Amino acid sequence: MLLDFIKIKKNIPRENAMQSIKTMLGQTWDLSRQFFCPPDSPDSGAITIFNLFFEKLNLVMTKILKNVVALASLAPSLFEFSREFKDKSGEQERRIVGISKAGKSMAEQIGKIAENTGIVSGDSEKIKTEVKSAMELGESSVDRFTQIRQHVNGLVRTINVLDENSKSIGDIIDVLNHISDETNILSLNARIEAARGNVDNRGFKVIAEEIAALASQSKTATGDIRDRLTILSRKVNETVEAVKMVEENVMQGQTMIVNANQSLKNVHTHFNHLAENLAKVEESTVLQSRDVKKVSEDIGDIEESVKQQVKGVETIFQVAEKVNGICEAMILDAGIFHLSGHKTAQKSAEQMALEPDILSFDRGRQEQALSAGLGQYPFIELAYITDNTGRQITDNIYACHVQGRDALNRGYHADWSLKEWFVQPAKTRHTFVSRVYRSSATYSFCFTVSVPLFRDQSFCGVLGIDINFKNMLDI
């Protein structure tokens, strides 16, 4: 290929020069190429103009492609950033929607709490009123129990007096029984005396009998009174015991009512505190409900803003995607032009192909020679060698500046027999310069220069080097 380049510098026939230009315009435009023809040729002026045009176009395209590559290098980052921003915005939108729903739900719940607190506060006021009424009734009951106790105490005293009087009547009855007994004795003596006497004593006898009858009736009456007094005394005792039990129950009831009334007072005190706290809670929940409602409305506004933001991010994402696609298309379309950098890369590859270690087809020596070539030509990203069947016989040798090169594909023993960069040099036995493409290894824009390798004039394989398109523009 180097010899072909030298031949181009020589004068070539008119037909060959014009035909070469025509052929080039239908294929890849090699803007670094110079066309020559005899000065006296009718096409000499046209050839000169073409050479000046290609030279100027080479400079212009180099500047344009530098800017395009610079933009293209930013486009993936912009695209990735916009994609991440889109994802984050979508996540933010989902979270805001969730927060908005939660805020609305919280506002509704707090509104219900405020409403229920108002109801509870009203109920507590009613309960406080009822407790106060119960306290008043309890105090009234205590007063009534006190009166009942006083009446019971009076009744006990009256019954005790009645019992004492009953006992006094019993004593009197004892006296009457004694008198009755004495009367019977006296009547008996009178009858005895009347029996001794004469007829005149008959009246005395009758009187004695009447006295005896009276004494007997008195005895019977006092006995009956005693029986009744005994029954009365027993009933009085039972009544006293019952009254004592009533008194004890009244005292217990009074004590219980006093304790219950004290408990009601405590309940009333607690309900006063509860009512005060509920009033404060009600006031706070009303204010909180109003504030949360306002926050919910603000969140709704934020939600709407986020939705608009997401739409804007979606537009940015689409624009970034479009810019990325356009830049990539521009760079790929620019592959139709071969600039001076292509020529430099081609010469570098052809120079490497002459190295004895490369032509040794010893894997270790070849890989060392490839590493040395990458050190000599820093614009090369990747170098490799295949045999004459297209099977790769070395590892991929990456430049030191390639990020993550240790994790990249080694490529050894890969079959490239159908790839254009192998097919062309194997077929034409000339150096091949590919169009720009995106590398599957480094994902950067690059082009391949592949040089046929010969030993003893026999085709033995292909040397391939990948040049970063951005680096090519600087050489």
Q: What is the pLDDT along the chain (475 residues), one digit of tens a residue?
A: 333 433 333 344 444 777 777 777 776 777 777 777 777 777 777 878 877 877 777 777 777 766 776 766 666 677 677 777 767 777 777 777 777 777 777 777 777 776 777 777 677 677 767 767 776 776 777 777 677 767 777 777 777 777 777 667 767 777 767 777 777 777 767 667 666 665 456 666 667 677 777 767 777 777 777 777 778 777 777 777 777 777 777 777 767 777 777 776 777 677 677 777 767 776 777 777 777 777 777 777 776 777 777 777 777 777 767 777 777 777 666 666 667 777 888 899 999 999 999 999 999 999 999 999 999 998 898 999 999 999 999 999 998 877 666 657 778 999 999 999 999 999 999 999 888 887 766 667 788 999 999 988 899 999 999 988 776 666 6
Three-state SS letters, the chain: CHHHHHHHHCCCCHHHHHHHHHHHHHCCEECCCCCCCCCCCCCHHHHHHHHHHHHHHHHHHHHHHHHHHHHHHHHHHHHHHHHHHHHHHHHHHHHHHHHHHHHHHHHHHHHHHHHHHHHHHHHHHHHHHHHHHHHHHHHHHHHHHHHHHHHHHHHHHHHHHHHHHHHHHHHHHHHHHHHHHHHHHHHHHHHHHHHHCCCCHHHHHHHHHHHHHHHHHHHHHHHHHHHHHHHHHHHHHHHHHHHHHHHHHHHHHHHHHHHHHHHHHHHHHHHHHHHHHHHHHHHHHHHHHHHHHHHHHHHHHHHHHHHHHHHHHHHHHHHHHHHHHHHHHHHHHHHHEECHHHHHHHHHHHHHCCCHHHHCCCHHHHHHHHHHHHHHCCCEEEEEEEECCCEECCCCEECCCCCCHHHCCCCCCCECCCCHHHHHHHHHCCCEECCCEECCCCCCEEEEEEEEEEECCEEEEEEEEEEEHHHHCCC
CATH number at residue 228: 1.10.287.950
Question: 287 and 146 share a domain?
Answer: yes
Q: How many domains does the chain have?
A: 2
For residue 364, the model assigns a pLDDT of 94
Residue 165 located in a structural domain: yes
Shared domain check, 257 and 376: no
The answer to whether residue 366 sits within a structural domain is: yes
Do residues 351 and 217 share a domain?
no
Does 393 lie in the same domain as 248?
no
Q: Single out the residue in 261, 294, 327 at which a domain terminates.
A: 294
pLDDT of residue 358: 94
pLDDT at 351: 94
Classify residue 414: in a domain, yes or no: yes
The reported pLDDT for the residue numbered 201 is: 60
Tell me whether residue 220 is in a domain: yes
Domain final residue, candidates 263, 294, 325: 294
Q: CATH code at 356?
A: 3.30.450.20
Q: What is the pLDDT of residue 336?
A: 64
Same-domain pairing of 193 and 260: yes
Q: Are residues 416 and 289 in the same domain?
A: no
> Does residue 317 sit within a domain?
no
* Domain assignment of residue 216, given as a range: 132-294
Q: Are residues 439 and 386 in the same domain?
A: yes
Task: Identify whether residues 147 and 286 lie together within a single domain.
Answer: yes
Q: For the whole model, what pTM was predicted?
A: 0.48
- Same domain? 178 vs 264: yes
Q: Is residue 437 part of a domain?
A: yes
Whether residue 265 lies inside any domain: the answer is yes
Does residue 22 belong to any structural domain of this protein? no
